[in-house]
Structure 1
Amino acid sequence: MKRIDAIYEKLKEYEKGATAIEVAEALDLSRANVSSDLNKLCEEGRVSKSSGRPVVFSVSKDQPTERFTFTIDKFSKLNESLFTAVEQAKAAVLYPPKGMNILILGDTGVGKSMFASLIHKYALETKKLQNNAPFVTFNCADYANNPQLLISQLFGTKKGAYTGADSDKQGLIEKADVGVLFLDEVHRLPPEGQEIFFTFMDKGIYRRLGETEQERRATVLIICATTENPESALLRTFTRRIPMVIKIPSLGERSVEERFNLISGFFKEESTRLEREIKVSVNSMRAFLSYDCTNNIGQLKTDIQLACAKAYADFAAGKKGEIKINSSELPIYIREGLYKETEHRQIWNKLIGFNKRYCIFNKNNEGILFQEDNSEDTIYDMIAMRVHELKAKGVKENDFEREIGRDIEDYFAKYIYNVSKRTDISSLENIISPEIISVIKHIMTFSEERLKRVLSQKVYFGLAAHLANAIERVNRSKKIINPQLNRIRSDHSEEFSVALECLNIIERTLDITMPIDEAGFIALFLVYDEKESIKYEEEVKVVVIAHGSNTATSMAEVANKLLGINHVIGINAPLEEKPQQVLQRLKVVIRENNIASDMMILVDMGSLTTFGEELEKEFSIKTRTIPLVSTLHVLEAARKSMLGCSLEQVYKETLNVNSLIEQNISQTQDLNNFEDKMAIITVCTTGEGSARTIKELLEKNLRYDSNLLEIIPFNLVSRESINSRIKAISREKNILCIVSSFDINKQIKHFGLHEIISGAAIEEIQQLIDVEATYMKMGDTLKNQLKAIDGAEVFKDIKTFITEIEEKLNIKMDREVLIGTTLHIGCMIERLKKGDSVIGFQGKEEYIKANPQLYKAVKRACNELNEKYDIYILSDEICYIMSYFKMGNQNSY
């Protein structure tokens, strides 16, 4: 079950209520998470809490009923431009006594039919219509050239009314009785048809074609739709009887957010129809967001369906392992949208962000990747981003620590400096709650007394904004991690001690549990208030100089527009102009703009690279120069400068663009490669040639995918060197076995040379390969098997989970059992995520007592899965997992 549900169920066991600590200890969860979930339950009305100290939580006696949201209101939230249209439609449906007829105006493909069906659904949900009330659709254009047939379709036909009318026939009005009749393209209804409608709309009576005496009655809400101007296309006597006119805007009149929501909705519909997950590249989403869609929403939906159909065809034919849409596969007219969306860049970054590669749609998620639009990254965001970047680059542990430490210091130096530029401190209380302001004042007074110095307004402002963010993060159960906690504790012991007391003040006052990592951040606010020498006087100026009449200014213009700034200076260097003249023009720009800051110079080639030295001599400023400039370099330099980075940081990060380009190319080429690989090592004492002979023999007799397995021949130099080489390979590959005339490593499966030559071991090695290959592809298996969670991601977490237990107990799971274990755990996580019930483990208590060490190891490893997937793995589930480990390992625990 989900963690919050497990907490709620546990709370039910306490008749007089319980504190967050009591519940946390009972479930072996962190107090912070339990407290956060209990407060969420309070907001939902399922739990109440006492006003005294300690806070006691108890299950509410009166459970709130969930407020129903009408479908049309959900639609309105995602389509703000249709808010007025939705309100008009609701008013028409609710108008007494039986509603008001509606005319919908809009271009072809804007969604008039869909909007009419929403109106019908709203009438059902509000009980203005009965649950079985029909929704009948009729396109007047189908019979526009045959008025008699059109009228018979609408009103019905009496037997003998015309040749061929051999029986009475029910009309659409009769079928739509007590429901809705939707007349699409109503302007194609001939004048005589409109006139017949007058009587029905006025009095609710009509006659079938051919009837003269009998009058029939029906109660029908009429919804008409037209692409034409109703004043010229419809009779005035007809439009006068339809008082509610609703205009649906075209796709071009909608906001970017609305178009994004439409695209996401269409992809989700196709995912539901195919009953499979659809992955859409970010560039494909950008193209759909911005291409010229002349036929409105109808064309947009059709284009998306065609893209999905093509991707599904590739999947069904085995060309792809999943349904994936990439921009390179889209028609040219859609791909052109990639070059037209620069004006949407800021909104796009709000919807998706910079670092996403695919949008994933399935029937179990919303399929919309909204992100909060924070104007400033928090320290937590910065750390998470840098950790991801550094790990991706393969930075070593020592360098990793140093890089993160420098980034944190730079962040606080810049943060304190930026705070000093905000003069309107009084406005703080307008954006931060009074409770937090009160706590900040308290800890400011306490810190000044302990440190025996006066803290500046910069700390007051900075701490308030920072802690508001930290408290919100804790309440959302998001982790707060400070990788430099130990260094801060040792380097700034006095400030850290004060920060710990500040945490206690926050916890007591706001009844919230703050992690000790947060003390490290608070300490740095106190530290950097002292460091007046650490300031950024002015942002680094970025100058682009390139040969050509408008090359540099074009790159500068692109960067400024994309980033929404006016920060990059472009200096063109026409081929007929001497470099010295270009340098003189640059100096004039510096003097006229009173530039005294450090300068990042980006040039294309030649003597332009020497300009920096001249400027340093004359203006006493620091410069850095990078040749072979591209627009990507300009963008990165401007972005880092805009963030307040130092000249050295701007220089290094801009240089990294080259490696980023190479990395992207490499990633594109290796997209189909697996992260893990297997290896078989062949060793021979007589030289590497013999080992290669054994390798060729294995290659001839074994079936395997060369992308997954490599056979590596070794020449035995000494026992120590061979072991070190094996150890190095094992860091990158899973060594299945070693073929050698003698044992080299007791922990790795060994086969003798004679077993290979005779063929005796081939079948066993083949089985090792097959089992390991199956396990390595478990990510794909889980991806197809699981719907509520990401199969590939959960496979990585399960591998970490199993490795942790193996290392803790010094065991190695049998590979065949490992496959079953992995599948079981993946399905278990999905079941708990969906809130499904758990089957009890028979003899649970005795089983746990008999295997205490194994139970403790599995339970501890489960904590990471609980945290990440917001679930709570009960002891019954732990016992099932234990049984797999017992089955897959013969050692005792």
Structure 2
Amino acid sequence: MNVISTKKLLLQFLERDVEFSIESPYRCTTSDISETMHISRSLTSQYLNELNKEGKLVKVTSRPVYYFSTKRLEELYSATVGEFEFYDMEELHGYLQKGKNSVQDFQKVIGNEGTLSYCTMQMKSAMLYPPDGLPIIFHGRKGSGKAYLAEVMYEYGVNQRILSSHAHFVKDHIASIHEPYEEVLFGTSHADRIVPGLLEKAAGGLLYLGDAGNMNMECQRRLTAYITKGTFTRIYDDKTILNVKTRIVLGVEHDLHEQLYDELLLNIPVVCEIPALSMRPQGERNDMIVSFLIKEAQSLKKEILLSKSLYQVFMGYHFHDSIDDMNTNLRLACANAYAQSGNEEEIHMYLRHLPMEVFGDLELSLRGRDSEELLGVDELKMQDGKRQILQLYEQILEAHQMYLERTFDEPEWVNSGLNAMRCYYDFIVFEQRDDDLGRKTIAAKLEELISEVEKQFQITLPLNCSFILARMVYAIYRMQSEVQLWEHQHKDAIHSCQETLDKQLPDVSAMAASIIRKINGAMDVKLGTMNTIFLIFNIHFYNRDVINRDTCGVIISHGYSTATSIADAVNQMLEMQVFKAIDMPLDTDVKQIQKKLVRFVELHPNYRNLIIMVDMGSLEEIASGLQADMNIGVINNISTGLALDIGNRIQRHQELEDILQNACRGFECHYQILSKSGKEKAIVFTNDVGMKVSSKLVELFKSSLPKIINLKFIEYDYDRLQKMGIQDVLFDKYEVILLIKPHMLKLDGIQSLSLEELISFKSIAQVNQILSQYLNDAEIESFNKQLLKNFSLQSIMENLTILNPGKLLDQVSEAITQLQLLMDRKFQSKTIIGIYMHTCFLIERLVTKTAILSDDMDAFEKAHPDFIRNVHISFEKMLKNYSVEIPISEISYLYDYIQNEEWEEK
């Protein structure tokens, strides 16, 4: 039985087979489960803890430790379980009792902590404002959920005892501006009878008026008078003054100033912008689908599953930009599927169950590709980002505990913390991201702070560190009580971990503490000790050997960003911040550069030696006037190769004079003359997937250029190049100034980049140097920005695969992580992008039945049985999801790719 199925069987055992009772938790300990399922105790413990971290099991850390199914607890107690670890049974029981049916009012609203977080705050403020609340406008497209939010607002008022439980919620829609609506709203008084209006019917409660833009002008004037005075009279009765306390919510679709009377707008201080379906992030749309399926399943008393293709339609189709329209189509598809389900216990929904209007609007390729794989509600639930943060913290504390128990030595425990940090980075990189404005604002502010800190302490933090910290700050804004509760529960372990790091990495700990204080002061938030620990690992990882290094390098070069490009390239290759850069635009005075150099020396008094690398002899005297208590060496004719050589020698702590002598001796000039007159210059794209992919890459690259340039862009056959090499007719016809190719294709004498290098942006200086003949500095900067967008991994996958890129990348991430574990190695950061990309294309080839086939695989199977087995285990879940099998030839291809990548790293 394989790893995945055993873990799944264990979960099913706890969900279905255990006679459940908190009061008598029989068969819920590690020993009981191990004995019943005939699994080793250590393996059982591993699976139970993994399922607990995934939120599928609740853990009670008493003696003995108990594990319960989260799903079963929620069903039995009618509660939503958001915590997954408890001190004892009493604490768990109290939590469940308190949580019974506790999901109410705004907690039920999808996006209340996301795109609707500000709206939620506005609605609560309007309801709570003394003495009788404030009127509010819901401004949003038809079908965005305005009426539903008004009902939730009413429920909130009742739950908070602002409104009486006997008060009414009344809603109505104004169909036409020609309707005499003042009679409907204010009621009428006749000689023989009185007809109450909506304001009276909703007295003491809440009145929602949809399509309020259709309200005629007379009605708007009367409503303005009611809002300002708190009284009104019925139509045809000017004598009876009614003092009715009714809260008003208006729903408006179009321009407020065009549809509502100016004085009415002035007297409604709260305007709540309700986002349309297209403005809701993918995670919230997913939650809407899940919520609908859960409600329908309860109503129909059947489990509902839908095909992957149908799920993709509901995640991407426009539905007239209306949430109501999406729900309507979901219900119709479900009804069609239900009609065909007969007596089956499950309802299976496919594309064919869509209403014809939607089905007919789909692309032909999608209509004929209804996946047979079905997804249940559990599979649709996305991982919670805040849970990932707490999981990161838990992994760090677990590694530290193993260090205290002497299971890990000092390097192992620090590396475990670094691995946990990298895993969280991977989750951030490959998850579906929304465009939350609050998070963006925080990230922008943190970028400024981190830049200041880097200058102050002369350290380096990764570019995405501000993004990661922004997520943490944002999460703390949204879930401060949960973080505080978790930190309180683990305060002793956190304090112990902090003490260990203070002793082992004192300088780094002091820097991290200072950074956290700056963030807390600037952002008005309290980041806890775990954030400090996280930052310590970041600083340590990206600045290893920097603090105690005695030699530093500075590159000074003419040009807009020449020095920066060389320094960045070398630092990344060395995986260490060895060089700083000072760019010198052609119109810059040498004295200005000298001032920058003096400032650099003042900020680095700890260095014993300084090596200054310049590009021209005229700059050799630039350091002559420096007043510094350090040895200074100057070397000219800077190049990337020379900088890399010197950087390597600095890393090995060679003496200053030895570094300079050996570097100069090893870098003599060589030349050759190549006659290429008459040939048209070209950039060529080739890949091992197919010409269509190469063609798309050409389009993406050309669309990144700010203008048309006199340069040929060619897509070319990979197999032909692999067979003919530099003898191919391509090189006779064109002067190939750059070849974008797969990593494994080797062509001596041709300037080339791999697609992986282009995506990682590590060799952008090489591309910029080529394009500098055609573009000025401002145009190159524009090109870089657009290329960064077009050639991100997510963008490449969206443009080059027919599969859902987000889902595909998630599954590839899981498979590759499992493969690394089974191979007991970590793929290098330089190659991980290439491995992800190759694996995505591999799955596409299998789905489209264009996999690489070979008859002679016997030798490979005999030589690498372990690798083949590891691939089958790692890819099992993903292959099942896509209903494909991986042939040995594709496994052989993946093996060659990984081995080639490994060789490149050495």
Give the alignment's TM-score, normalised by structure 1.
0.41
Q: TM-score, normalised by structure 2?
A: 0.41
